[in-house]
């Protein structure tokens, strides 16, 4: 028996049996073990494949040399990130778009994943959470662990969450919640559907949040992939958003930092929550307190590497990376369409969202693509119940693999 050992947080038991990407990996490894000679093309988890931009490598090396001398050693840094990086972010990611942010509204972290998982700590245990369906799994899982979900029902939905279905039928644009919510997770450009949100749509959400006293957590991890000049790059381009929106970005997919780790979250000074007694409270101050308590900030050398991205040479090199992946996106989108599949996304996002053939479930399509074309993608149903009948492939593979993938699908996946 368990007597004499501590009780656990039983909310963990409400998580689905396996993290989506773990199941993808498991099935892929099983296939590999059974077919050791097969050459798999991995368009699944979505890790980057191109090397770091040279300015980033140079900055890493220079910062490392600083750490090698007592006179220039940097030990513990500011909990929230160095001022040189926060100032560069404010100027280049926002100032250039007409959005004024102060460095103390920007919190540097080790990843968009941690930020997406941690931000819910600012809100009450019984806060009501609205989630896009399908969505990046971290938003839901972090709130499950925090005890806001209860157990999932038979369809895989958590009765405690408000789901905002995003399907081809509504152009992957969620409808406003039909009951009161406190926290709304929006992600644009979207993982997994590849959709973007127009200015008018985003304004509806900001207006809704202001009217209904909700906070929007806006995940802009894929902002660098926006091509359409009319699509907003930051939620703060929308009037009134500073009071109701928290925005996160990541260096992972723009500058290839999936291994280095670097991201940031913006919590504007105007953003507020309230106590049970109704006292207004600054979310910026809460997040500062939380970050100071739980973090010593990302490594100095990585922050120097991130700052190098904002030099004019760095911007050029990052644009080159993004252009390469977007070239893959076009190759995949056009090739899959030619092969007769219905596809979405891939125009302002590095993800292609495939409609599985009629009668084929997401996991069936995964198994088929693996067996018939030796291609690994991600079943849409893994991102939420409304992802059933869809399948995600990423543009982060090599160009040669993207070309070969569409050839394999066109020639082998018939009937
Ligand atoms: N947000 C979204 C929507 C993502 O897809 C990802 C990564 O896949 C992240 C955040 C987190 O990225 P990272 O933790 O590498 O910064």
Average pLDDT over every residue of 11-19: 85
Q: Which of 103, 64, 99 is nearest to 80 (CA)?
A: 103
Rounded Cα distance, 306 and 87, in Å: 12
Residue 154: the pLDDT is: 85
Which pair of tokens denotes residue 410? Answer: 């066109």
Q: Is the pLDDT score of 262 beyond 70?
A: yes
Which pair of tokens denotes residue 186? Answer: 């929006």
Is the Cα dihedral 144, 150, 151, 157 positive or negative?
negative
- CB within 8 Å of 136: residues ≥ 6 apart: 116, 187, 191, 192, 219, 383
Q: Mutate which of 48, 217, 221 to test ligand 1's pocket (most atoms within 8 Å of Cβ)?
A: 221
127 CB-contact burial (10 Å; exposed 0-12 / middle 13-18 / buried 19+): middle
Contact between residue 163 and residue 184 where contact means Cβ atoms under 8 Å apart: no
- Model confidence band, residue 21 (pLDDT cutoffs 50, 70, 90): confident
Residue 179: the pLDDT is: 95
Quick: pLDDT tens for 233-243: 999 999 999 99
Q: Is the pLDDT score of 415 beyond 60?
A: no
pLDDT > 70 in the chain, percent: 99
Q: Mutate which of 24, 115, 116, 195 to test ligand 1's pocket (most atoms within 8 Å of Cβ)?
A: 116
Quick: pLDDT tens for 354-405: 999 999 999 999 999 999 999 999 999 999 999 999 999 999 999 999 999 9
φ/ψ of residue 187, rounded to 5:
-135, 115
- Model confidence band, residue 90 (pLDDT cutoffs 50, 70, 90): very high
Average pLDDT over every residue of 335-361: 97
Residue 155: the pLDDT is: 82
Whole-number Å distance, alpha carbon 221 to ligand 1 midpoint, is: 6
Quick: pLDDT tens for 113-158: 999 999 999 999 999 999 999 999 999 999 999 999 999 998 889 9
Which pair of tokens denotes residue 25? Answer: 């990996």
Whole-number Å distance, alpha carbon 249 to ligand 1 midpoint, is: 8
Supply the angle between the helices 312-338 and 54-67 in degrees, to the nearest 10.
Answer: 140
Q: Whose CA is nearest to atom 12 of ligand 1?
A: 112
Residue 22: the pLDDT is: 86
3-state secondary structure of 321: helix
Q: Mutate which of 47, 252, 263, 265 to test ligand 1's pocket (most atoms within 8 Å of Cβ)?
A: 252
- Model confidence band, residue 312 (pLDDT cutoffs 50, 70, 90): very high
Residue 156: the pLDDT is: 83
Average pLDDT over every residue of 275-282: 96
Nearest atom in ligand 1 to 187's CA: 3
Which residues does ligand 1 sit against, CB inside 6 Å?
A: 46, 111-113, 116, 136, 187, 191, 219, 221, 250, 252, 258, 263
Average pLDDT over every residue of 311-333: 98
DSSP states along 57-68? HHHHHHHHHHHT
Q: Is the pLDDT score of 98 beyond 90?
A: yes
- Model confidence band, residue 1 (pLDDT cutoffs 50, 70, 90): low
């Amino acid at each position: 028996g368990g007597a004499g050992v501590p009780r656990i947080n039983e909310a963990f038991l409400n998580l689905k049996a396996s993290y989506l990407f773990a199941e993808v990996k498991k099935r892929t490894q099983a296939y590999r073990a059974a077919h050791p000679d097969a050459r798999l093309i991995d368009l699944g988890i979505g890790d980057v494949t191109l090397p770091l931009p040279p300015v980033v490598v140079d900055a890493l090396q220079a910062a490392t040399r600083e750490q090698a001398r007592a006179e220039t050693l940097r030990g513990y840094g500011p909990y929230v990130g160095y001022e040189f990086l926060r100032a560069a972010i404010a100027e280049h990611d926002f100032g250039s778009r007409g959005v004024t942010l102060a460095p103390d509204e920007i919190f540097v972290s080790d990843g968009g994943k941690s930020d997406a998982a941690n931000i819910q700590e600012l809100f009450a245990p019984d806060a009501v959470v609205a989630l896009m369906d399908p969505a990046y799994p971290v938003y839901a899982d972090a709130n499950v662990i925090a005890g806001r979900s209860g157990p999932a029902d038979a369809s895989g939905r958590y009765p405690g969450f408000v789901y905002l279905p995003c399907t081809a039928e509504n152009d992957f644009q969620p409808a406003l919640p039909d009951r009161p919510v406190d926290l709304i997770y929006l992600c644009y450009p979207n993982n997994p559907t590849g959709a973007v949100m127009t200015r008018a749509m985003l304004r509806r959400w900001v207006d809704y949040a202001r009217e209904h006293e909700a906070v929007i957590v806006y995940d802009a991890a894929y902002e660098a992939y926006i091509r359409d000049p009319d699509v907003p790059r930051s939620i703060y381009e929308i009037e009134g958003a500073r009071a109701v929106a928290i925005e996160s970005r990541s260096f992972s997919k723009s500058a290839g930092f999936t291994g280095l780790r670097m991201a940031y979250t913006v919590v504007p000074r105007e953003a507020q929550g309230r106590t049970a007694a109704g006292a207004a409270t600054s979310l910026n101050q809460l997040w500062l307190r939380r970050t100071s308590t739980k973090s010593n900030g990302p490594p100095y050398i990585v922050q120097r590497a991130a700052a190098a991205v904002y030099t004019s040479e760095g911007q050029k090199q990052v644009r080159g990376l993004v252009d390469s992946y977007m070239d893959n996106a076009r190759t995949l989108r056009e090739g899959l369409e030619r092969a007769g599949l219905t596809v979405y996304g891939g125009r302002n996002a590095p993800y292609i969202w495939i409609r599985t053939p009629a009668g084929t479930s997401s996991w069936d399509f995964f198994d088929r693509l693996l067996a018939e074309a030796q291609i690994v993608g991600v079943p849409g149903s893994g991102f939420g119940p409304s992802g059933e009948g869809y399948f995600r492939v990423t543009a982060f593979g090599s160009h040669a693999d993207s070309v070969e993938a569409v050839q394999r699908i066109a020639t082998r996946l018939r009937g």
